Structure 1
Amino acid sequence: MGVEIGSKLEGKVTGITKFGAFVELPGGATGLVHISEIADTFVKDIHQFLKVGDVVTVKVLSLREGKIGLSIKKAKEQERPPRSPRERGEGFEDKLNRFLKESEERQSTRKKNTEKRGRHR
């Protein structure tokens, strides 16, 4: 399997810096896992998560000018439902309708809470 954007590959950590880890991929190519792509939590010290020689599964994020951008955390992610309106393919009318519905629900809840407080005084 070649190195293509979106592909998941196994590689070996060959070096660690303060900004990320270098991973050797099948075929001899080396890519970088940026510190922000190592784990779902805040990573202050990469050595707490990886060491040279570790075999990791990575997802190829980018291929630019001979540089390969990799992610460990995205390789672990399961297929998830779209989170943002743009990911859901939601148009302006859909967004507006959803906003109006949510706004009406919030206003209704506030009104009920205000009425309850008013009766007890």
Structure 2
Amino acid sequence: MTLKAGNIIEGTVINITNFGAFVDVEGKTGLVHISEVADTFVKDIREHLKEKDKVKVKVISVDDNGKISLSIKQAIQHQKSSKPVEIDWSADKNKQNPSDFEDIMSRFLKDSEERQQDVKKHQEAKGRGYSRRG
């Protein structure tokens, strides 16, 4: 596979720095910036990667000088989004019992009524503490 932007390929981590990891892909070295390692904030890249780790990376860009920008985060997101979603179409599981719906509605009405009473009490208590002076 050629090194073109958008391709997802496997590489080997060859060096780790404070700002990212250098990954060997198809005999060339590319950089995975620390911000492209994981979906979450990465304080220490060594908690996520070690030298000689095999990683899937997405080629972000290849400039005219041969500099290759890579992303582990985007490769993972692409894998997640390309997996088909399994849906259980069986009708029996999706049908709700009418009594279940009525139970849910009665609980909702009870909870909302209690919340409404709490709001009224709070507003009344708030109004008592102030007096108007002219």
What band does the TM-score fall into relative to the shorter chain? 0.5 to 0.7
Two-structure CA RMSD over aligned residues (Å): 1.9
Per the TM alignment, residue 7 of structure 1 is displaced from its structure 2 partner at its CA by 0.2
Identify the residue that residue 63 of structure 1 maps to in structure 2.
62
Q: Once the 2 structures are TM-superposed, how far is the Cα of residue 79 of structure 1 from its aligned partner?
A: 3.0
AA aligned to 1:23 is V
1:45 is aligned to 44
Query: Residue 23 of structure 1: CA displacement?
Result: 0.2
Match in the other structure for 2:81: 79
Aligned to 1:34: 33
Identical-pair percentage:
54
Q: Return 5+ residue gaps in structure 2 as ranges.
A: 83-115, 125-134
Q: Which residue of the partner structure matches residue 23 of structure 2?
A: 23
| SS of residue matched to 2:46 | helix
* One-letter identity of the residue aligned with 1:7: N
1:30 is paired with a residue whose SS is strand
Unaligned 5+ segments in structure 1 are: 81-112
Normalised TM-score (structure 2): 0.58
Structure 1 segments of 4+ aligned residues over 3 angstroms from their partners: none
Where does residue 105 of structure 1 map in the other structure?
none
CA distance in 1, matches of 2:8, 2:29: 14
Q: Distance in 2 between matches of 1:66 and 1:20?
A: 18
| SS, match of residue 56 in structure 1 | strand
Mapped to 2, the partners of 1:6 and 1:42 lie a distance apart of 23
Q: 1:1-49 CA deviation, whole Å, 9 max, x = no partner?
A: 11110000000000000000000002x0110000000000100100000
Higher helix share: 2
SS at match of 2:81: coil
